[in-house]
Amino acid sequence: MSAKWNEQQVVTQLRDTSQREQAFTLMVEHFKEQLYWQIRRMVLSHDDADDVLQNTFIKAWTGLDGFRGDAKLSTWLFRIANNETLNFLERKRQTLSLDDDAAVGVAVRLESDPYFDGDETARQLQEAVASLPDKQRQVFNLKYYDEMKYEDMSEMLGTSVGALKASYHHAVKKISDFFHARD
């Protein structure tokens, strides 16, 4: 869609049932790539990321009447995507009886992933990030890849800025330790 993005206009249209579908389509087009990569960095697999993204938009569609407009549309969508991602990871962990050490096979999956085109260092970074606990991995991804401010993260995740800074610090330390262990 080539229509220019105007969040307030889209929010107004989402509230009007006669314009809701068109506004929702605009919203999906505007946020789908950003949300996809947020999800993808957590679930790693393209197919899983697509599934979680689809579930995110289904939840958003069914929850439109509950969107009060207190937060930005992006914050609301990212929170839905975050919850869907964490739920997916928990279901997958329960299904496969995985623990946090299950990231060992990440390198093999990345090498066979046609969507991954990074070099060896990028592959090792992804392996290190994948070995982090879900919450730390999420904070690291949002800060490092998305360059999100802690205040925005706090609003999106409902966590204090201090806790987010601590999570990021611990994640960076674990990633650093991961690389030092390889030397």
- For position 1, what pLDDT does the model report? 42
Structure tokens at 12: 């107004």
Contact 118, 126 (CB under 8 A): yes
**DSSP 3-state of 147:** coil
Beta strand segments in the chain, E: none
Q: Which structural domains are found in the chain, ordered by start?
A: 1-98 (1.10.1740.10), 119-183 (1.10.10.10)
- For position 97, what pLDDT does the model report? 55
Q: What's the predicted TM-score (pTM) here? A: 0.75
Pick from 156, 180, 11: nearest CA to 78: 156
Please, which pLDDT band fits residue 45 given cuts at 50, 70 and 90?
Answer: confident
Distance CA 28, CA 22 (A): 10
Is residue 14's pLDDT more than 50?
Answer: yes
Radius of gyration (C-alpha) of the chain in whole angstroms: 18
Contact 127, 107 (CB under 8 A): yes
Is residue 27's pLDDT more than 60?
Answer: yes
Please report where in the chains the tokens 């030092």 appear, as a residue: 180
Is residue 104's pLDDT more than 80?
Answer: no
- For position 100, what pLDDT does the model report? 44
- Mean pLDDT (the chain) is 84
